[in-house]
Amino acid sequence: MAVVTLEGVTKVFGASGRRSAAVRALDAIGLTIDDGEFFSFVGPSGCGKSTALHLIAGLETADAGTIRFDGVRVNDLEPKDRDVSLVFQSYALYPHMSVRQNVGFPLKVRRVPRREIDTAVARVAASVGIESLLDRRPRALSGGQRQRVALARALVRRPRVFLMDEPLSNLDARLRLEMRTELKRIHQASPVTTVYVTHDQEEAMTMSDRIAVMHRGQLQQCGTPAEIYRTPANCFVASFMGSPPINFFKGGFLARLLLNDVEGVVFRGLAPDGLSVGLRPEDLSVRASSSPTAKGAATGAATTGPWIPGTLRFVEDTGRERWGDVDCGGQMIRARISGSVANGRTQVGQTVAVDIVSTENIQRFDASTERRLCDEPKVS
Ligand SMILES: Nc1ncnc2c1ncn2[C@@H]1O[C@H](COP(=O)(O)OP(=O)(O)OP(=O)(O)O)[C@@H](O)[C@H]1O
Ligand SMILES: [Mg+2]
């Protein structure tokens, strides 16, 4: 196991190429992944996740910066000398070998005795559910099955660092959930430092000890799932992490819509103009309202907190929950539907009120820089 440190790590593709413009895939990334930690890189397509993993593995070289394993610089070390185990985004199975040979290959090249290889392959095949496929060739497998073979090949030995690039992306929803649990179980039983890449924020949130959120080659925030969710560093992190995504309002616009903001809980002494306010759908609740524009005229459940008038435009039913899109003065806001509305008494097109059920998680950002504002404004 190892502590992995990135210091100012930068990767530029195509810098010397004549045809296409250079792409700064990683821009001065600095972070430390602790020994035995389950650490995820998350972010949208093209943000630099795979590049970060390839640099740690030694498959690409950094243009600037230092990568260390346990404090020792590894920039110039060959991949085979870094003792990492990789699952590629593109599987990269050996087509001429059976599944059994593919999975056992990392042990064979390390000259592990045959009997030990057989035992290890059987163990890992059972844990990812590919026991019945061991004698097939990769071309005779589905995409999801190939992905599990690639995962098994990485898990068959205990390296210093596991590097996994979207290892569950081709599995069906149920298998994906099962594999998430299985990977966590394997990690808990044997906590090898694991660097995991995913574009799925929910996967990152549920599996990781800590998460690095990336955007356009830059590290936006690094922290525990709770830190990232409750105190997002900027508007990008707030909008990328969470499903359904957070709602944003310009502060001045929201100030004109908000009714019953008696305690100033939304603005907390900050001037609404220049503020961008983030409200998560799960902290908002839609209820019926007969007169949404007149202060105090709402009907339905009694409310003492701030609320926003609007018109229900769309309802999404996930089975477990119902979400409503409410048109609030020309801006759509997504909120949880509960009570009488959930029972079908409120229809699309009806006027409603959106209550801010929990005011603890209101996010406040500087509207121009999109950076988070401190939670307790200074009183002058
Ligand atoms: N070999 C390469 N040559 C040129 N550009 C590259 C190369 N590899 C990656 N890039 C570019 O670098 C950026 C980061 O790519 P990377 O593969 O790290 O993204 P990613 O976050 O893994 O995305 P995805 O979720 O789609 O896999 C992208 O703009 C990509 O086009
Ligand atoms: Mg990738």
Q: Where are the domains of the chain?
A: 4-240, 247-366
Cα–Cα distance, 153 to 86 (Å, whole number)? 9
Tokens of 203: 């996967």
Q: What are phi and psi of 323, to 5 degrees?
A: -120, 145
Q: Which atom of ligand 1 is nearest to the CA of 26?
A: 14
- Residue given tokens 């998560």 in the structure block: 280
CATH match of 4-240 with 3.40.50.300: yes
Which tokens hold the place of 30?
Answer: 């600095």
**Res 48: pLDDT:** 97
Per-residue pLDDT of the chain (380 residues; tens, 9 = 90+): 799 999 999 999 987 655 668 999 999 999 999 999 999 999 999 999 999 999 999 999 999 999 999 999 999 999 989 999 999 878 789 999 999 999 999 999 999 999 999 999 999 999 999 999 999 999 999 988 999 999 999 999 999 999 999 999 888 998 899 889 989 999 998 899 999 999 999 999 999 999 999 999 999 999 999 999 999 999 999 999 999 999 999 999 999 999 888 778 899 888 999 999 999 999 999 988 754 444 444 444 455 689 999 999 999 988 888 899 999 999 999 999 976 555 556 688 999 999 999 888 999 999 999 999 976 544 44
By the 8 A CB rule, do 179 and 169 touch? no
* Separation between Cα atoms, residue 80 and residue 267, nearest integer Å: 55
Choose among 216, 215, 217: nearest CA to 232.
Answer: 215
The residue whose two tokens read 């260390």 is: 68
Look up residue 286 and give its two tokens.
């839609």
Ligand located closest to 52 CA: 1
Backbone angles phi, psi at 138, to 5 degrees: -55, -35
pLDDT for position 375: 63
Question: Cα(57)–Cα(159) distance, rounded to whole angstroms?
Answer: 12
How many angstroms is it from 106 CA to the middle of ligand 1?
A: 27
Q: Whose CA is nearest to atom 31 of ligand 1?
A: 46
Of residues 55, 4, 67, the one with CA closest to residue 25: 55
Which one-letter amino acid corresponds to residue 269? G
Q: What is the distance between the alpha carbons of residues 298 and 289, in angstroms, rounded to a whole number?
A: 5
pLDDT of residue 21: 81
Q: What is the pLDDT of residue 18?
A: 59
Q: How far apart are CA 254 and CA 276, in angstroms?
A: 9
Spacing, Cα 51 to ligand 2 middle (Å):
7
pTM for the full model? 0.91
- The first and second tokens of residue 379, run together, are 């009183």
Give yes or no for residue 46 CB within 6 A of ligand 1: yes
Q: How far is CA 358 from the centre of its chain?
A: 23
Rounded to 10 deg, the angle between the 173-189 and 114-128 helix axes is 130
For residue 65, give the DSSP letter.
Answer: E
What the block records as the tokens of 94 is 């050996």
CATH number for the domain whose boundaries are 247-366: 2.40.50.140
Centre a 10 Å sphere on the Cβ of residue 111 and count the other Cβ atoms it contains.
6
Could you tell me which of 51, 80, 79 has the C-alpha nearest to residue 65?
51
Q: Which atom of ligand 1 is nearest to the CA of 14?
A: 4
Instruction: Give the whole-angstrom CA distance, residue 133 versus residue 24.
Output: 41
In contact, 45 and 234? CB cutoff 8 Å: no
Residue 244: asked if its preceding bond is cis (omega within 30°), the reply is yes
Cα–Cα distance for residue pair 77/101, rounded to 1 Å: 27
Q: Which residue has the tokens 């998460």?
A: 211
Q: Is the CB of 48 under 6 A from ligand 1?
A: yes
Q: Could you tell me if the CB of 49 is within 6 A of ligand 1?
A: yes
